[in-house]
Amino acid sequence: MDSVISVSGLRKSYGHTLALDGLDLQISQGEVHGFLGPNGAGKTTTIRILLGLIRADAGQAMLLGGDPWSDSTELHRRLAYVPGDVTLWPHLTGGEVIDLLGRLRGGLDLDKKQKLLQRFDLDPTKKGRTYSKGNRQKVALIAALSSNVELLILDEPTAGLDPLMEAEFRACINEDRHLGRTVLLASHILAEVEALCDRVSIVRAGKTVESGTLADLRHLTRTTISAELASPPTGIGELAGVHGFQSEDSRVDFEVDSDRLGEVLSHLARLGVRSLISHPPTLEELFMRHYRDADAST
């Protein structure tokens, strides 16, 4: 697969604040890639470097086969961007902004624009300063999604959208995925990333701490198990790979490393299982573990 975004060892500091500390990011063509991290982790800084708005201090960044800084104008014809914090010109209408941004990018799909206006239920005749936050976000989303570009860069695009509109947004991204479009989705909303993304990268303090498919990431971590047993729960807590073991009478709750799951289940079977609930780690658990662990180590 062709690499659409290829970033390695990216560094950027603002005065004494280190924003990026050797960040890596690989995104192939046609992939919807989740870009996760807490506030201030360096997601927006990375995106701004990829957009040629700021220059990295060190490291490599390639975007659509070009250099994001020196080839910015040409590259920008092939991508669309939705910022997390959308501001609009107070006296221009939403419709005018959508048209202007589309034309400046080199053209927009008018059919698609009309459909998106309906899907997102946006009144394009209102002036920029009278839109609410969610509606400003919709203006930026429609402006980006109504273009036929290869790459969408979305920085927390659903902030301020209501659940109905968020569902609409997910539907749009899924349609774009089928068209072979590449999407970089920076987000805090883990359910959204879980629902949409093929692969994710987790960043913390300017570094990539984890990258891969959701299945890969799950494999590295623990499954949660709650069970009702037929006999007293002996020996479970001592098994290799079991964490956070708790029992109350015949009821047990624990987490188990995914690669030890088989051994633990056969032990449970020997004890006799009346009921069993197991669920794979949610992205949220993954995410929290990364930050908690990292916090503990610093």
* Residue from the set 18, 62, 92, 271 that interacts with other proteins by CB under 8 A: 92
In whole angstroms, what is the distance from residue 148 CA to residue 111 CA?
A: 11
* Residue from the set 65, 129, 164, 284 that interacts with other proteins by CB under 8 A: 129
Number of CB atoms found within 10 A of residue 186's CB: 24
Minimum distance of other proteins from residue 58's CB (angstroms): 15
Cβ neighbours of residue 226 closer than 8 Å, sequence gap 6 or more:
251, 252, 253, 276, 277, 278
In whole angstroms, what is the distance from residue 286 CA to residue 209 CA?
A: 12
Render 229-297 in DSSP notation, one character per residue.
ESS---STTTSTTEEEEEEETTEEEEEEEGGGHHHHHHHHHHH-EEEEEEEPPPHHHHHHHHHHHHHHH
* Residue from the set 40, 60, 65, 89 that interacts with other proteins by CB under 8 A: 89
Does residue number 195 form part of the binding site for other proteins (CB under 8 A)? no
Does residue number 85 form part of the binding site for other proteins (CB under 8 A)? yes
Burial bucket for residue 222 (CB in 10 Å: 0-12, 13-18, 19+): buried
Does residue number 55 form part of the binding site for other proteins (CB under 8 A)? yes
Give whichever of 85 and 284 is closer to other proteins, judged by the CB atom. 85
Does residue number 140 form part of the binding site for other proteins (CB under 8 A)? yes
Judged by CB under 8 A, the number of residues near other proteins is 41
Does residue number 57 form part of the binding site for other proteins (CB under 8 A)? no
Give whichever of 73 and 266 is closer to other proteins, judged by the CB atom. 73
* Residue from the set 125, 231, 275, 297 that interacts with other proteins by CB under 8 A: 125
Binding residues vs other proteins (CB under 8 A): 48, 51-55, 72-74, 76-77, 79, 81, 83, 85, 87-93, 95-96, 98-101, 103-106, 123-127, 129-130, 140, 143
